[in-house]
Structure 1
Amino acid sequence: MLDVILSGANGRMGKVLQGIIAQQTEMQVVAGVDRESFAAEFPTFTQISDVNVSADVIIDFSHFSNVPAVLGFAVEKKMPVVIATTGLEEEQKQALLAASKETAVFFSANMSLGINLLAKAIREITPLLEDEFNIEIVEKHHNLKKDAPSGTALLLADAVNDSVKEKKEYIYGRHGNDLTNPLSELGIHAVRGGTIPGEHTVIYAGPDEIIELNHFALSRNIFANGAVKAAKYINKKTAGLYDMEKLIDEK
């Protein structure tokens, strides 16, 4: 049985993940952490440093400001950790790198298998199109999402820049009345509204033809399923930084 400490257990994604894990025959939540007390079938804590339950892996779906504390706990306990929280700033990214020297750390800006396969496809086709095609990314999310652009949009933009001869300049939205829109720019546009779980479109616009790569998240289950896959994958790994691309490549 894979015993999980779930950070952010009472949030939107935490509740979804509780349901997904409950369906697993070889995985269970043994402790939950959230900023406010809540009732659950497992012990709950308001700070991860107070957790006194033994476990095999941590899954974090909380807030980016909590990430250093989660990583610190993982390092202290020598416990693998899946960081599924988005919107990380440079401080948290550096903490990821530091923690990965001491324990196994899994991080992806998006836990969806489909999104990460899309990024893989982008790396394949972009070199064939970059000389003639403008590349733009449009992402849509619900109106409660705090960060813009989404971490996923940046993941896809980085997949473009990983595969081009010359790095593109990220343009966050466009405005003005004298734009030139050169091929060296990569526009990233954020839409917020309603209850959209997540939509991402990568547009390749060339002479007389357009190619669009789309991903639609129909529910939050896809992110929870990805986190479960990541937890199972990282459980026996040695110290290091792992991501969904590595998981896919080892399938």
Structure 2
Amino acid sequence: MPQYSDEKKHSLSKPYFGFLGPTKDAKTASAMQAHLVAMSGEFVGTFMFLFLAFCGHTMTVSQSPPGPNGANSASAVVYISLSYGFAVLVAIWTFYRISGGLFNPAVTLALMMTGNIPFVRGLLLFPVQILASMAAAGVVRGIIPGSIRGVQTTLAPSVSVAQGVFLEMFLTAFFIMSILMLAAEKSKDTFLAPIGIGLTLFICEIAGVFYTGASLNPARSFGPCVAGRNFQHYHWIYWIGPILGVIIAAGYYHFVKFFNYEEANEGQDSSGGDFQNGA
């Protein structure tokens, strides 16, 4: 009987059971192939993040008694915030090796402005994130009871459009700054960045869900509007607010980088073995 080499044997341990052969060597892979793989990871990751978050949000809205004037109660705000914070944490930790785990046009814009991802990569990821948000909202609408309009980002009755823009701006700036310093800036604790980013989104949601819905992400707001066939007349604030927040965060990031922030508080990444006793 003829003997087959290991490369030709089909095995459950190989991708596609070995029928497609070995993957292309990373050194010879084309730039477009890398972009396509990143786009696939960004689509699946954004879908995972928003699907989990929308499901949790819908459950909370349907099970929690409304607060005064029909607004979300304090307990509902906590559950909604947990849904988004933990969903982005697990999605980033799962997909950051593939696409960087952005899942947000505002994050993509910030990384482009700070030179952390190529301009072409950013342009390719924008539509993928929007499509994934639409897909997540559409699937949630189709498979679980409750209206998808319940997860739309809306202003509280007492909040004006101008107030909504500025709250979205500041919350997005805080969120983006955490991403730039925890993930874009490499340090000994970068591998824990998904935890810090998830916690930042959680606390930003706590601060803003009651007032604006705490979007911080144009894709997060756009998808439910498409699935629910309902756009608020002030929907634009969930684009302009995050963009302004990106400009603020990117500007401060450039400021501290220009003045070598590492020298302002030396030794923060040291494990303690770099210093002599008594030094």
Name the TM-score, length of structure 1 as normaliser: 0.24
Q: By percentage of residues, which structure has more helix?
A: 2
Q: Mark the structure with the bigger radius of gyration.
A: 2
Q: By percentage of residues, which structure has more strand?
A: 1
